[in-house]
Structure 1
Amino acid sequence: MSLSPRPCALRPEGGVLLVIPTLNEARHIERCVRSLLTRPETGRDLRAVVVDGGSEDATRDIVMGLMAEFPALGWLDNPARLQSAGINLAVRRCARPQDEILIRCDAHSVYPEGYIGALIESMERSGASAVTVVMDAAGSNGFQRAAAWIAGTLLGNGGSAHRGSTVSRFVDHGHHAAMRLDAFRSVGGYDADFSHNEDAELDLRLTRAGHKIWLEAGLRITYIMRPDLAALARQYWRYGRGRARTLLKHRVRPRLRQIAPVLNALALVAALISALQVPQAALLLVAYGLLLLGASLVGMRRLRAPCGLWAGPAVAAMHMAWAGGFLRQILTGRAA
């Protein structure tokens, strides 16, 4: 059994590298950057870099304009396009000798004032090698509002710790926020071949190496949901594939909340096929349909708007797309 690494105390003069991976994020990047850099208040030397996978919209122009306003902000091209590869590249190219902390940010998110300083304080207080935070989903159009609401429920997230948790504690996985650079480097950084679930895959290697991950429930970020049903389904398909790749790579069993959407999808397909000869099998389809209808009606009541009716279709897309992506990857029998 390997002993848990005992991180050395962070030096007061230790620097911070903040990385924001992007790909066609013109709609969100300015709000993200401003929420992080307007008043960072870290007490440490901060360098921020947008690492871009080849945006074809106005992302570059927006960031170049922001660089004139925020001297700590820089730009780095990411030829590999994937976020995992981009963050690894930023660490190799942009981390300075004095940098001790890596902060990963999502261009789709808005961060509370004092976020960076609070992350560092949490890392120092907990003694953890990594600090994760809670994601509160949000959106502006009707579909996004409904999808955000259902994503915050047990039906939408399966009880994931970083989705709505109110209790700070050590966890096996969470939404990546801050990490000690020495810990990140010691396990080889992100798997640069992963397009999704690279965070959970890295967390698995970190915990296996004895590092501790802290969930700071008092730090909550606002995540902007995908704008429509098709985009949400594509996202969750990739989530499912990514989770399957992690399980295949490390030969671990899925947890119940991870396998539940797959079992549900398989049961529904079996019920649909057998209902032609065994009409009672259709009861499962009816039950799931009623569950979705109930989600829509509750969503409409909670949001006090007709857009809440999108909650049922949104959670169906989450369940079925995640399951489809998971099965697609498992059936290939490969972690690659």
Structure 2
Amino acid sequence: MTQTAPLSNAGRPAAVQPAAILAVIPALNEARHIETCIRSLMAGSQALRQVPMLVADGGSSDDTVAIVERLRTEFPNLSVLHNPKRLQAAALNLAAAGAPVAATILVRCDAHSIYPENFILDVAQSLVDTGAASLVIPMDAVGETCFEKANAWIVDTPLGSGGAAHRGGKASGWVDHGHHAGFDLSWYRRIGGYDESFSHNEDAEYDVRLGKAGGRVYLDAGIRIQYIPRGNVRRLWKQYEGYGRGRAKNVRKHGSRLKLRQTVPILALLGSALGLVASLVYWPAIILPLGYVAILALASGLVALKHKSLCGLYAGLAAGTMHMSWAFGYLREATRPKG
């Protein structure tokens, strides 16, 4: 649960030395987004050009690496780190293991995001000011294509993300988990970094171990990023199925319980499936899946009206894809035999 606090970094000049910071962007086939991401990260203070910035590439088959290499002529502090394990967790661990001696702060940046000026410096400063072991931030989803826009409009609502604090949250404070932005490297190394057996949900798993070790996570709502969501059903399904599998692995590893917002998609999937099967012998049971579809259809209409755009009609499809894939991934992993 988020607790409000007066701490904020808005408008504060950076005091953390650039040499104390290492910025890392895990990437895999991000040719569409990587240049926009890097340029947004480099906007602001000239001190940003003194911060080592690694693009940890997991073996991209598109032009991601070529684009980064071209940008190095403009930003000499930029370099490519080859990540043979491909996963984001491995990328951060690899960067932390090879961090410069002077580095005490690791800033995680995502290639799908657009950052405000001085983001890296602000994250580092807020981490120091709060004394947190990790700093997390809110994500404000934005879209370019019609489906991306609908996805963005619905994901930050309770129907989309279930009200997660880091999804469009407005209040700063101490939290159990959030979207990772900055790490105290001493804490990161102390608890062993990310668990590389997690392809998804590695951040939530890290936060569980951090909490058990006595580390604290601070959500700074004054530092916000724009996140570009997946642009079609197939990619969105793959993303959220992975999230579901990761959450199930987390529950299995730590014995933690699901929150209500995480239980609802599972109930929606099971209820809809049960209703379809039961309707073969008792037709009123069809109200379960039809009721769920009606909720999604209503959400689509409301989003379209709110944003005065027919793109909003995709909102229900996006929400339903998130719910069903997350629940499917969770149940698939949770019922998998151990070993």
Contact 2:244 2:329 in 1 (8 A): yes
What amino acid is aligned across from residue 17 of structure 1 in structure 2? L
Write out aligned runs for 1:110-149 (5 A): 110-149=114-153
Write out aligned runs for 1:110-259 (5 A): 110-259=114-263
Q: Tell me, in whole angstroms, the C-alpha distance in 2 between the residues paired with 1:158 and 1:66.
A: 38
SS of alignment partner, residue 332 of structure 1? coil
Contact 2:21 2:106 in 1 (8 A): yes
Q: Tell me, in whole angstroms, the C-alpha distance in 1 between the residues paired with 2:214 and 2:49.
A: 27
Q: Tell me, in whole angstroms, the C-alpha distance in 2 between the residues paired with 1:176 and 1:223.
A: 13
Q: Tell me, in whole angstroms, the C-alpha distance in 2 between the residues paired with 1:119 and 1:232.
A: 28
Contact 1:16 1:45 in 2 (8 A): no
Q: Relative to structure 2, which stretch is displaced further, 124-133 or 96-105?
A: 124-133
Aligned residue number for residue 105 of structure 1? 109
SS of alignment partner, residue 258 of structure 1? helix
Contact 1:15 1:45 in 2 (8 A): no
SS of alignment partner, residue 21 of structure 1? strand
Q: Tell me, in whole angstroms, the C-alpha distance in 1 between the residues paired with 2:189 and 2:264.
A: 34
What amino acid is aligned across from residue 35 of structure 1 in structure 2? S
Q: Tell me, in whole angstroms, the C-alpha distance in 1 between the residues paired with 2:312 and 2:18.
A: 49
CA deviation map 1:215-250 (0-9, x unaligned): 011111011111111111111111101111111111
SS of alignment partner, residue 156 of structure 1? coil
Matched, 1:47 2:47: no
> What is the percentage of aligned positions where both structures have the same residue?
46
User: Which segments of 5 or more consecutive residues in structure 1 lack a partner in the other structure?
Assistant: 1-9
Aligned residue number for residue 42 of structure 2? 37
SS of alignment partner, residue 157 of structure 1? coil
What amino acid is aligned across from residue 26 of structure 1 in structure 2? A
- Which residue of 55, 59, 63 corresponds with 1:58? 63
Contact 2:156 2:163 in 1 (8 A): no
- Which residue of 287, 290, 297 corresponds with 1:293? 297
CA deviation map 1:255-277 (0-9, x unaligned): 22112211221111111111122
Write out aligned runs for 1:265-280 (5 A): 265-280=269-284
TM-score by length of 1: 0.93
Contact 2:16 2:125 in 1 (8 A): no
Aligned residue number for residue 329 of structure 1? 333
**Corresponding residue pairs, total:** 325
Supply the RMSD in Å over aligned alpha carbons. 1.6
Q: Tell me, in whole angstroms, the C-alpha distance in 1 between the residues paired with 2:238 and 2:21.
A: 33
Structure 1 residues 269, 75: closer, same or farther in 2, change over 3 A?
same
What amino acid is aligned across from residue 310 of structure 2 in structure 1? P
Q: Relative to structure 2, which stretch is displaced further, 253-262 or 35-44?
A: 35-44
SS of alignment partner, residue 49 of structure 1? strand
Contact 2:136 2:182 in 1 (8 A): yes
CA deviation map 1:180-205 (0-9, x unaligned): 00000000000112111001110111
Contact 1:240 1:326 in 2 (8 A): yes
Aligned residue number for residue 31 of structure 2? 26
Aligned residue number for residue 67 of structure 1? 72
Contact 1:40 1:116 in 2 (8 A): no
Matched, 1:77 2:82: yes
Q: Tell me, in whole angstroms, the C-alpha distance in 1 between the residues paired with 2:39 and 2:161.
A: 29
Aligned residue number for residue 4 of structure 1? none
CA deviation map 1:17-56 (0-9, x unaligned): 1000010000000000011123355589511100100000
* Structure 1 residue ranges (4+ consecutive) displaced by more than 2 angstroms after TM superposition: 10-14, 38-45
Matched, 1:281 2:285: yes
What amino acid is aligned across from residue 77 of structure 2 in structure 1? A
Contact 2:52 2:78 in 1 (8 A): yes
Q: Tell me, in whole angstroms, the C-alpha distance in 1 between the residues paired with 2:256 and 2:84.
A: 32
- Which residue of 79, 87, 91 corresponds with 1:86? 91
Aligned residue number for residue 318 of structure 1? 322
